[in-house]
Amino acid sequence: MRLGALLVFILMWASSSLSAGLSNVRDAGPQRRCFDRACNPRIGNLALGRVLSTQSVCGSNSSERFCFFKQSARPRGKQSCSAAKCARCDAAAPGQAHPAAAMSDSSFRHPDTWWQSAEGVEEETLQLDLETKFLFTHLILVFRSPRPAAMLLERSQDFGRTWRTIRYFAHDCETMFGLAEGLPVGEGAATCTSKYSGALPCTRGEVIYRALSPWHSVDPYGLAAQNQLAVTNLRVRLLRRQQCPCQAKRRGAAALPMEHYAIYDFIVKGSCLCNGHADHCVPAQGYRPGPEKASSMVHGKCVCRHNTAGDHCERCAPLYNDLPWQAANGIMGTPHACQKCKCGGHARSCRFSRGLWLATGRRRGGVCNDCLHNTEGRHCQNCKRGFYRDPSRPKTAPDSCKRCFCHPVGSVPSGGGTPCDPSSGKCTCKPGVEGPHCDKCIRGYWGFHEYGCRPCDCAGGCDPYTGDCKCECIEGNLGSPKWFCVAKFDYVLVVKVMSAHDKGSHAEVEVKIKKILHQNPRLKIQQGSVTLYPESWTVQGCTCPILNPGYEYVVAGHKNWKTGRLAMNTRSFVKPWKTSLGPKLLHIIRKDCGRR
3-state SS of 212-258 is CCCCCCCCCCCHHHHHHHEEEEEEEEEEECCCCHHHHHCCCHHHCCC
Residue partners of 248: CB distance under 8 A and separation at least 6:
254
Answer for the pair 144, 203: CB distance below 8 angstroms, yes or no. yes
Answer for the pair 244, 69: CB distance below 8 angstroms, yes or no. yes
Q: How many residues does the chain have?
A: 596
pLDDT score recorded for residue 2: 41
Query: Rounded to whole angstroms, how far apart are CA atoms 12 and 269?
Result: 13
Residue 17 has pLDDT above 60, yes or no: no
Residue 539 has pLDDT above 60, yes or no: no
pLDDT score recorded for residue 7: 41
pLDDT score recorded for residue 248: 79
Query: Rounded to whole angstroms, how far apart are CA atoms 324 and 59?
Result: 57
Q: Of 22 and 424, which is predicted with more confidence?
A: 424
Domain boundaries, the chain: 3-70+83-282, 402-470, 481-592
Tell me what the pLDDT averaged over the chain comes to.
85
pLDDT score recorded for residue 366: 95
Residue 470 has pLDDT above 50, yes or no: yes
pLDDT score recorded for residue 419: 85
CA dihedral 112, 118, 120, 122 (to 10 degrees): -90
pLDDT score recorded for residue 290: 64
Lowest mean pLDDT among 26-30, 137-141, 298-302, 580-584: 26-30
pLDDT digits (tens, 9 = 90+) for 320-360: 999 999 999 988 889 999 999 999 999 999 999 999 999 99
CA angle 115, 121, 125 (to 5 degrees): 60
Dihedrals phi, psi of 565, to nearest 5 degrees: -95, 150
Query: Mean pLDDT throughout 188-199?
Result: 91
pLDDT digits (tens, 9 = 90+) for 234-254: 999 999 999 988 887 777 778
Query: Mean pLDDT throughout 178-203?
Result: 89
- The amino acid that residue 454 corresponds to is R
Query: Mean pLDDT throughout 424-432?
Result: 91
Answer for the pair 238, 258: CB distance below 8 angstroms, yes or no. no
Answer for the pair 533, 565: CB distance below 8 angstroms, yes or no. yes
Answer for the pair 237, 155: CB distance below 8 angstroms, yes or no. no
Residue 15 has pLDDT above 50, yes or no: no
Q: How far is CA 102 from CA 51, 99, 484, in A?
A: 10, 6, 131
Query: Rounded to whole angstroms, how far apart are CA atoms 571 and 558?
Result: 9
pLDDT score recorded for residue 587: 85
pLDDT score recorded for residue 474: 59
In 360-427, at which residue ranges do the beta strands (DSSP E only) sit? 366-369, 375-376, 382-383, 387-389, 401-403, 411-412
pLDDT score recorded for residue 542: 61
422-427 long-range Cβ contacts below 8 angstroms, 24+ apart:
422/382, 422/383, 422/387, 422/388, 422/389, 423/388, 423/389, 423/391, 424/388, 424/391, 425/388, 425/390
Identify the band that residue 475 occupies on the pLDDT scale cut at 50, 70 and 90: low
Answer for the pair 167, 190: CB distance below 8 angstroms, yes or no. yes
Lowest mean pLDDT among 474-483, 511-520, 533-542: 533-542
pLDDT score recorded for residue 525: 87
Instruction: Name the maximum alpha-carbon separation found in the chain.
Output: 174
pLDDT score recorded for residue 407: 92
Query: Mean pLDDT throughout 34-63?
Result: 91
Residue 49 has pLDDT above 60, yes or no: yes
Q: Is the dihedral of CA 67, 72, 74, 77 positive or negative?
A: negative
| 455 beta partners | 445
- The amino acid that residue 404 corresponds to is C
pLDDT score recorded for residue 541: 52
- The amino acid that residue 95 corresponds to is G
CATH node for 402-470: 2.170.300.10
Identify the band that residue 538 occupies on the pLDDT scale cut at 50, 70 and 90: very low
- The amino acid that residue 504 corresponds to is G
Per DSSP, 384 falls in state P
Say whether pTM exceeds 0.85. no
Residue 23 has pLDDT above 70, yes or no: no
Identify the band that residue 114 occupies on the pLDDT scale cut at 50, 70 and 90: very high
83-87 long-range Cβ contacts below 8 angstroms, 24+ apart:
83/250, 84/246, 84/247, 84/250, 84/253, 84/256, 84/258, 86/256, 86/257
Lowest mean pLDDT among 152-156, 293-297, 375-379, 535-539: 535-539
Query: Rounded to whole angstroms, how far apart are CA atoms 310 and 108?
Result: 34
pLDDT score recorded for residue 336: 95
pLDDT score recorded for residue 122: 93
Query: Rounded to whole angstroms, how far apart are CA atoms 206 and 7?
Result: 12
- The amino acid that residue 407 corresponds to is H
Residue partners of 403: CB distance under 8 A and separation at least 6:
374, 386, 387
Q: Are strands 164-170 and 192-193 parallel, antiparallel or unpaired?
A: parallel
CATH node for 3-70+83-282: 2.60.120.260
> Burial, 144: exposed, middle or buried (Cβ in 10 Å; 0-12, 13-18, 19+)?
buried
% the chain with pLDDT above 70: 87
pLDDT score recorded for residue 13: 38
Lowest mean pLDDT among 30-34, 133-137, 288-292, 420-424: 30-34
Lowest mean pLDDT among 24-33, 147-156, 226-235, 542-551: 24-33
Identify the band that residue 9 occupies on the pLDDT scale cut at 50, 70 and 90: very low
pLDDT score recorded for residue 522: 87
Closest CA to 331 of 3, 19, 5: 19
Residue 31 has pLDDT above 50, yes or no: no
Domain 481-592, architecture per CATH: Beta Barrel (2.40)
pLDDT score recorded for residue 294: 67
Element (H, E) at 116: strand 115-116
Element (H, E) at 156: strand 150-156
> Between 20-27 and 3-17, two packed helices, what is the crossing angle to 10 degrees?
100
Query: Rounded to whole angstroms, how far apart are CA atoms 269 and 206?
Result: 15
pLDDT score recorded for residue 215: 55
pLDDT score recorded for residue 26: 40
Query: Rounded to whole angstroms, how far apart are CA atoms 191 and 169?
Result: 9
Q: Collapsing DSSP states into helix, strand and coil, what is residue 382?
A: strand
